[in-house]
A and B are shown apart, each in its own frame.
Chain A
Amino acid sequence: MKENAKEKLFYLKRSIVHPFDAFYEIRFRGKGSASLAVIILLVFGVLQCVSYQYTGFIINFHDLAGMNSISIFLTWVLGFVLFIVSNWSVTTLLNGKGNMTDILTVVSYSLVPLTCTMIFQVFASNFIIAEEAMIVYVITGVGAVWSLFMLLAGLCVIHEYGFGKTLVSILLTFVAAAIIMFLGILFFTLIEQMVTFVISVGQEFIRRL
């Protein structure tokens, strides 16, 4: 068990520096861990809340009086869940070989560089002046680009796509995400109307009795 966990962590580290090799191992030799991926995703969500509140005053432009940590957490986590689901639905149609767990693993693992640089940003921003903010932004930017590269590499490997097809599939993923969101909003609006109807019938019933 302990050996197993060590191996999973080793492949997480390896995916950061050798994304193509590591994601190959994860996809075809079962070296990835879905639970580790979920933990990373949750940590990322929490980090967004932390960043909202604890980023240094000089580069923190948020109105802390209006902060809602649940909303921030859910926006980020559900945003990635939406990406995973719609990517899966698109790649299923486009002969992608990866399953849902693979996509989850790739997306979460590739968040690790960004997470690290964001932790650095939250910490360092409390000790900088406005002129030094650019340095912090650049470091975070490097993390973001690194994460993006990992994501692209990972999706290439798990779906067995070329680079161009990966880009197209990501574009279609956003379209699919928009459709899912539209259906979701439609569903909830209709449910709301139905609930209101039932409630008003109930109220009417009580008053007539």
Chain B
Amino acid sequence: MRRKGKKYFNGFFAALLGLTCALASPAQALASDGSSYVYDGYTYDFYGNAKESPAMFQLERTISAENMGGVALSSVDDVCTSADGRIFTVDTTESRINVFDENGGLLFTTRLVRTVDGKIALDENGNQIMLNAPEGLFIHEKEQEIYVADTGNKRIVVLDLATYGLLRIINAPAELVGVTQFVPSKIAVDLADRIYVVVQSSYEGIVELTRDGEFSGYYGVNTPMVSLTDYFWKSIASDEQKAQMAKVYAPAFNNITLDGEGFVMAVTYDSSASDMVFRLNSKGENVLRQEGNTPVIGDIWNMSSTDAGSQFVDIAVTDYGTYALLDRTKGRIFLYNFDGELLNAFGSRGNLKGEFKSPTSIAWLGDKLIVSDDMLNYIYILAPTAFGKAVLEGSESYYFGDWDAALVSFQQALALNANYESAYSGIGKNYLMKEDYKTAMYYFKMGNNRTFYSKAYNGFRGEWLERHFLIIMFLFLVLVAAVIGSEVRYHQQSKVKAKAAMKLLNSRRGREEE
């Protein structure tokens, strides 16, 4: 009896194993290190319906404590990449910078900063320079520098990109005005060597420094949303009451990066901010293009009253303006092109490899995405799928005006996802450029792009009028002739009638005279 039971048990397991294999076998999207996670993607159509779509990325590789060669990995708070394919991360808890190669092999790790020639560096007081809870870093390719936000020590440490040796230290600027404490968290450096420093919870904006570390001003305007009820109560409150009310502060920026044209792009997840994603011009105004079906806010529907919506912790921009936004509420990655059209959204929260628990940072490495998570302590390397490659190539060709290449890429994307409105629009724009208006109209209709449909129709109508000019002119002339003719006939008839009436009158008069 017991043996029989065991046999059944074994049989059950064998069946279960077979079932798992059968289920697993169709999903051949295994990553190179054997880990596999297939994301579900979606986009929004013109009507705001979520349309299923293949995900643009799949998990290629994870970097975890196993890659660290015995060095602890406790939380990854910021990720940056250099042009030669190195991945730089900061570990806030361990106060370390870790550098990996593009396959996840550890190249360098330290918390103690050394000079360029390998000696232990000392600061002006003769102390060793130890990093303390750094939260951000930035690779400045132009000057071959690494900027590390040494948050705990309230300073910025600048290292050499090749040797990781100390170049200089930027301490809190003496001229810093306002109430903001100089606690650098995230950094970006633009092509003119201006340093932009994000201080968490600073409502005065991004701190802008010169290359020498002198304070040059606050940068960026982040307007808060004021609700109508608040406005009403404020308008009738007395001065004492107003003093007790919670002040509405400008929401802080939470992360920052630079796009290919040198514009600063920033995100905020403060719920009181009216914009969530910023592309700041030199005046600090938001000039982000939002020409897509949805505004650049990530998810457009709230699933319940407690659903906070998407909260972006980081942004990564390619040279061709396509940017990825990392949403910490639902663990999603949203990809937008430079026009603000949602290309794809994918990812979820959970404990599986490939899912996110507390995503912190995102960066591009070529056409791959590097995403870090500070609770799972993983760094994911996501590689584009066939669909993702087609879309990214299409966006790139489109951005640089390479219409024919864009057409090919968008057609590939459409072959993989027939619901993809932005690819239809892209193809339509190509035909519009070639003045093939009729085809363009078809694709704009499929892509629900009314603005461009109108442009294509304008061309189509112009051509039609030109082609049928003769017959239209002829019909018009016939109409004019008919109108004139009928007028003439009417006048003639009335003249005849008038003559007849006169005759009648005359004859009557004649009779009366008789």
CB within 8 Å for A130 and B451 given contacts A58-B457, A63-B47: yes
Number of A-B contacts (CB under 8 A): 21
How many chain B residues sit at the interface, stated as a range, is 10 to 19
Contacts of A127 in B (CB 8 A): 461
Q: How far is the CB of B460 from chain A (nearest CB, A)?
A: 10
A130 touches B450 (CB 8 A): yes
CB neighbours (8 Å) of A130 from chain B are 450-451, 454
Q: Which of A58, A61, A66, A129 has the most CB of B within 10 A?
A: A129
B454 partner, pick from A61, A66, A129, beta carbons under 8 A: A129
Q: In the assembled complex, how far is the CB of residue A190 from the closest CB belonging to chain B, in whole angstroms?
A: 29
Which chain B residues in 454-502 approach chain A with CB under 8 Å? 454-455, 457-458, 461
Query: In the bound complex, how far is the Cα of B49 from the Cα of A66, in angstroms?
Result: 11
Interface residues of A in 126-180 (CB under 8 A from B): 127, 129-131
Beta-carbon contact of A129 and B458 below 8 Å: yes
393-451 of chain B: CB within 8 A of chain A: 445, 450-451
Report the interface size for chain A: residues with CB under 8 A from the other chain.
9
Task: Confirm or deny: B253 has a beta carbon within 8 angstroms of a beta carbon on chain A.
Answer: no
Interface string of A44-75 (1 = CB under 8 A from B): 00000000000001100101001000000000
Contact A58 B461 (CB under 8 A): no
Evaluate contact between B450 and A58: CB separation under 8 angstroms: yes
Asked if B453 and A58 make an inter-chain contact with CB atoms under 8 angstroms apart, the answer reads yes
Chain A hits for B451, CB < 8 A? 130
Alpha-carbon separation in the docked complex, A102 to B445 (Å): 46
Question: Which residues of A are found within 8 Å of B450, using beta-carbon distances?
Answer: 57-58, 61, 130
User: CA–CA, A63 to B47, complex, Å?
Assistant: 7
Contact of A129 among B47, B49, B445, B457 (CB under 8 A): B457
Chain B contacts with A in 47-80, Cβ cutoff 8 A: 47, 49
Query: When A63-B47, A129-B454, A130-B454 are in contact, do A57 and B461 touch as well, CB less than 8 Å?
Result: no
Min CB–CB distance B125 → chain A (angstroms): 67
Q: Which residues of A contact B457 (CB under 8 A)?
A: 58, 129
- Rounded to whole angstroms, the CA-CA distance of A130 and B47 in the bound complex is 19
A63 and B45 CA atoms in complex are apart in Å by 10
| Chain B residues, CB < 8 A from A129 | 454-455, 457-458, 461
Residue of A nearest to B464 (CB): A127
Q: How far is the CA of A66 from the CA of B450 in the complex (A)?
A: 19
Partner of B445, one of A57, A61, A63: A57
Which A residues are in CB contact (< 8 Å) with B458?
A: 129
The docked-state distance in angstroms from the alpha carbon of A58 to that of B457 is 9
Complex CA distance for A61 and B451, rounded to whole angstroms: 12
Q: Restricting to A54-108, which residues have a CB under 8 Å from any CB of B? A: 57-58, 61, 63, 66
Q: Which of chain B's residues has its CB closest to A59's CB? A: B450
- CB-nearest residue of chain A to B458: A129
Closest-by-CB residue of B relative to A127 is B461
Chain A proximity mask over B93-135: 1 for CB below 8 Å, otherwise 0 = 0000000000000000000000000000000000000000000
Given contacts A127-B461, A129-B461, contact A58 B47 (CB under 8 A): no
B453 adjacent to A57 (CB under 8 Å): yes
A130–B449 Cα gap in the complex (Å)?
Answer: 12
CA of A61 to CA of B457 in the docked complex: distance in angstroms? 17
Complex formed: what's the CA distance from A127 to B464 in Å?
12
Q: Which residues of B contact A63 (CB under 8 A)?
A: 47, 49
A66 and B45 CA atoms in complex are apart in Å by 14
How distant is B422 from chain A, measured CB to nearest CB, in Å? 18
B52 to chain A, nearest CB (A): 15
Per-residue A-contact encoding for B24-58, CB less than 8 Å = 1, 0 else: 00000000000000000000000101000000000
- Considering the chains assembled together, what is the distance between the CA atoms of A151 and B461 in angstroms? 39
CB distance from B458 to the nearest CB of A (A): 5
Q: Give complex CA distance A131, B47 in Å.
A: 22
- Cα A189 to Cα B400 in complex, Å, equals 60
Could you tell me the distance between the alpha carbons of A57 and B440 in the complex, rounded to whole angstroms?
Answer: 14
Enumerate chain A residues within 8 angstroms of B47, measured Cβ to Cβ: 63, 66
Mark interface residues in A1-21 (1 if CB within 8 Å of B CB, else 0).
000000000000000000000
Residue of B nearest to A65 (CB): B47
Q: Shortest Cβ distance from A136 into chain B, in angstroms?
A: 13
CA distance A131 to B451 in the complex (A): 10
Residues of chain A within 8 A (CB-CB) of B455 are 129
Chain A min CB distance to B450 (Å): 5
Q: What's the least CB distance linking A115 to chain B, in Å?
A: 26
Residue among A57, A58, A127 facing the most chain B CB atoms (10 A cut-off) = A57
Taking the closest CB of chain B, its distance from the CB of A69, in whole angstroms, is: 18
Q: Give per-residue flags for B275-300: 1 if the beta carbon is below 8 A from chain A beta carbons, else 0.
A: 00000000000000000000000000
Give, as a whole number of angstroms, the nearest-CB distance from A56 to chain B. Answer: 9
State how many angstroms separate the Cβ of B240 from the closest Cβ of chain A: 42
**Chain B proximity of A11: nearest CB distance (Å):** 30
Shortest A123–chain B CB gap in Å is 15
With both beta carbons as reference points, the residue of chain A lying nearest to B452 in the complex is identified as A130
Cβ contacts under 8 Å, B445 to chain A = 57
Contacts of A61 in B (CB 8 A): 450
Instruction: List the A side residues contacting B461 at CB < 8 Å.
Output: 127, 129
- Contact residues in A for B453 (Cβ distance below 8 Å): 57-58
Bound complex: CA A57 to CA B454 (Å) = 9
Chain A: minimal CB distance from B358 (Å): 37
What's the nearest-Cβ distance from chain A to residue B403, in Å? 23
Q: In the bound complex, what is the Cα–Cα distance between A57 and B49 (angstroms)? A: 19
A135 to B: closest C-beta gap in Å: 14
Pull 19 A–B residue pairs with CB atoms less than 8 Å apart, ordered by A.
A57-B445, A57-B450, A57-B453, A58-B450, A58-B453, A58-B454, A58-B457, A61-B450, A63-B49, A66-B47, A127-B461, A129-B454, A129-B455, A129-B458, A129-B461, A130-B450, A130-B451, A130-B454, A131-B454
Known: A129-B458, A130-B450, A131-B454. 17 other contacts (CB 8 A): A57-B445, A57-B450, A57-B453, A58-B450, A58-B453, A58-B457, A61-B450, A63-B47, A63-B49, A66-B47, A127-B461, A129-B454, A129-B455, A129-B457, A129-B461, A130-B451, A130-B454
Would you list the 9 A-B pairs with minimal beta carbon distance, nearest first?
A130-B454, A129-B454, A63-B47, A129-B458, A58-B454, A58-B450, A129-B457, A57-B445, A57-B453
